[in-house]
Amino acid sequence: KAGVTQTPRYLIKTRGQQVTLSCSPISGHRSVSWYQQTPGQGLQFLFEYFSETQRNKGNFPGRFSGRQFSNSRSEMNVSTLELGDSALYLCASSLAGGGNEKLFFGSGTQLSVL
């Protein structure tokens, strides 16, 4: 089985631009979560999608948004980029998104905002 695939692997953007990151979950997994990882704040939860519906959202500004498609693939979008948005963005999938489930993580997208 293929693992969680995130594209692109690296991105360089300038302040004010917007960016879209993509995540393909493991086949059969219907829950996709997104996390932001920075040296200062560590790993922080962004949002979780299940069957195309956002079920949970972390404490991030509205510039951060996401969606999930009928095939469970997910995208997250960051508009009006700020320097502080530079981070590793990790996507994780699981079967149904229950609190007791193992999450399978992708390798992440490293976003640099200049």
Partner 1 sequence: AQSVTQLDSQVPVFEEAPVELRCNYSSSVSVYLFWYVQYPNQGLQLLLKYLSGSTLVKGINGFEAEFNKSQTSFHLRKPSVHISDTAEYFCAVSGSGYSTLTFGKGTMLLVSP
Residues that bind partner 1 (CB under 8 A): 4, 31, 33, 35, 42-45, 48, 50, 55-56, 58, 90, 92, 94, 97-103, 105-108
Taking the complex as a whole, the smallest distance from the CB of residue 103 to partner 1 amounts, in Å, to: 6
CA separation for the pair 7, 23 (Å, rounded): 7
Nearer to partner 1 among residue 14 and residue 38 (C-beta):
38
Nearer to partner 1 among residue 37 and residue 79 (C-beta):
37
Nearer to partner 1 among residue 6 and residue 19 (C-beta):
6
Pairing of the two strands 104-105 and 42-50:
unpaired
Taking the complex as a whole, the smallest distance from the CB of residue 27 to partner 1 amounts, in Å, to: 17
Answer for the pair 5, 27: CB distance below 8 angstroms, yes or no. Answer: no
Q: Is 43 helix (H, G, I), strand (E, B) or coil?
A: strand
How many other C-beta atoms lie within 10 A of the C-beta of residue 100?
A: 5
Taking the complex as a whole, the smallest distance from the CB of residue 79 to partner 1 amounts, in Å, to: 23
Taking the complex as a whole, the smallest distance from the CB of residue 73 to partner 1 amounts, in Å, to: 17
Answer for the pair 26, 3: CB distance below 8 angstroms, yes or no. Answer: yes
- DSSP code of residue 70: T
